[in-house]
Structure 1
């Protein structure tokens, strides 16, 4: 059984909507920067998002890569699972974000992004860990970097 990493604080008096999602941690070749999707709101996220219908993790990641950046991606390694309790100020709802994280590699650009307010930013690892909007995504970057370094040995 995989270890569960939980971020945010659960209020026992509130109901939370479960939101399963899949995210990609993508490093550049020198492993000093990671790909971050920045929305026009200036918030930073990992590439990825909510699983739709009966999508597999791979199908979800590939769809999100096209929607957000217009690129293909290659899924290399599963990182782990982490959750985050949070209140969406955009939707005014309480969520339990259930994140499944993968180390991925960017492929070729195949179209313009569908989500025009999303932009690819290459960010230094430390900066990304500070600026990612969701703590479980920061955890995933740190964990992916450790796994990648172990694999290079």
Structure 2
């Protein structure tokens, strides 16, 4: 399995709940798609459910959060972020697998009504995204195309 880039401080003697997920970096004219939620700004994507593959998880999550279908173009990399989650009230290890993707087709109904798709300029991404491993993935995606 891909070696992960590590973000955050992993505290000794703390049990972390590991949550594997897949996230999309979608770029259009230098703007990056992010999802605004009640808890912050994130790349579209989320946690694996059941026996899902990373790719099927990513397609499902992006559709639920944005109403768009995507085509996965390229794997960017894997990054883990250790943090205390105020939403889950526990220590979490986000084990993220990041992909460059593009939107295909028209927007459908958004299933998660408290999620809003926004387009953020590259220069503002690190200020906007809640997790730095997601900002890292955005920069890696741009680097792949430079």
> TM-score normalised to the size of structure 1?
0.91
Gaps of 5+ in 2: none
Partner of 1:13: 13
Give the superposed CA RMSD. Answer: 1.2
Gaps of 5+ in 1: none
CA distance in 1, matches of 2:118, 2:82: 26
CA distance in 2, matches of 1:110, 1:55: 23
Q: CA deviation at 1:66?
A: 1.5
Q: CA deviation at 1:131?
A: 1.2
Look up the SS of the partner of 2:62 in the other structure: helix
Q: CA deviation at 1:3?
A: 4.2
Q: CA deviation at 1:64?
A: 0.6
Partner of 1:64: 61
CA contact (8 A) 1:129 1:142 kept: no
Trace 1:72-151 onto structure 2 (pairs within 5 A): 72-149=69-146
Deviations 1:1-58 (A, max 9, x none): 7443100101112100110000000000x2x1100111134x1100000011110111
> TM-score normalised to the size of structure 2?
0.95
Look up the SS of the partner of 1:109 in the other structure: coil
